[in-house]
Chains A and B, each alone.
Chain A
């Protein structure tokens, strides 16, 4: 026995015409399989329409408010982290932009890797010599200053620098405070 379109009609939920209804009734009176499906469908409808809404545990709104504050904090932290990563990537990008032409220039200047290595060694020696000269210069300057400036002026300068350092520290402090998320 063919079950179509009667099986379709059981689940369609659309109204049937008079002829269709008659044919449906005739088929249902003879077909056990479709009767079973019809009963099951009827029971399912009753079950779904008869069960009430599930309710959350009491205090849902206060739990939501707590979660809102927590989620907003997490979002802000994630935003800061993303900004930091962005800054780092930008810094690396900028450094690369500056560094790559320099490397290219060095590669073009020196004929072979040996020349390049020698160049780096010479640059390092030049840097050490420069540092040595700077040390001599600063030592001489300090000696001259100690001989020329009296101890009282040294004390005054020390106080002034201490004051400026404190001022600097206090002016930077507000920037390091984590601002509270408005609730």
Chain B
């Protein structure tokens, strides 16, 4: 696979668009997933993934072959998403107002599907509370198994900055989860009170 990738990169650098198409095919899911986790919206994620590949296509001549292609590509994608989130904040579009990716898998039973969708929505709302760079750090660390060093290279940060951002993000996520859980418990106890009153 690595040899194929190197071959496609070389061919793409020599102007072969079909070879770049192969790279797009190979990396569509990682790039799309990163964009989706960052932006929380399937339509914006599609657009961001396409734009990331276009940016990679344009700057392919400057790609350093010593670096892994995936790190380089995901770095482009992460920076594009960070910019998009900052622009979105200027436009003040709340994350809760946008649609999210629903899982429709006929092979899974509906209950499991609903549970997975609930998890997806929970993750989306939790990640939405983090700052763009913290969100990128969390996504790269958990979904792509990037080490501190790789995450630092990918996001142009120092290793200590990655560690401190990850630490802060974990704390924020945990507090948000506790907050949500206590709200849910309150809502459930209120509902049971109403039932008893009836």
Contact = CB atoms under 8 A, between A and B. Distances in A.
Contacts of A61: 21, 24-25, 28
| Chain A contact patch, size range | 20 to 34
A53 B173 CA distance: 20
Given A48-B138, A53-B143, A68-B57, A40 B50 contact: no
A48 B32 CA distance: 17
A48 B142 contact: yes
Given A60-B24, A64-B21, A54 B174 contact: no
Interface stretch (B1-9, B88-96, B118-126): B118-126
B154 interface: no
Contacts, number: 92
A48 B123 contact: yes
Contacts of A56: 28-29, 32, 45-46, 49
Contacts of B175: 37, 40
A54 B32 contact: yes
| Chain B contact patch, size range | 35 or more
A50 interface: yes
Contact of B37 (A40, A54, A68): A54
Interface in B108-128: 116, 119-120, 122-123, 126
Interface stretch (B61-69, B73-81, B164-172, B188-196): B164-172
Contacts of A68: 17, 54, 57
Interface of B: 17, 21, 24-25, 28-30, 32-33, 36-37, 42, 45-46, 49-50, 53-54, 57, 101, 116, 119-120, 122-123, 126, 138, 142-143, 166-167, 170-171, 173-175, 177-178, 181
B119 A50 contact: yes
Given A36-B178, A61-B24, A55 B122 contact: no
B24 to A, nearest CB: 5
Interface in A31-81: 36-37, 40-41, 43-44, 47-51, 53-57, 60-61, 63-65, 67-68, 71
Given A54-B101, A64-B50, 12 more contacts: A40-B174, A40-B181, A47-B119, A49-B142, A51-B116, A51-B120, A53-B29, A54-B36, A54-B37, A54-B42, A60-B24, A64-B24
Contacts of B178: 36-37, 40
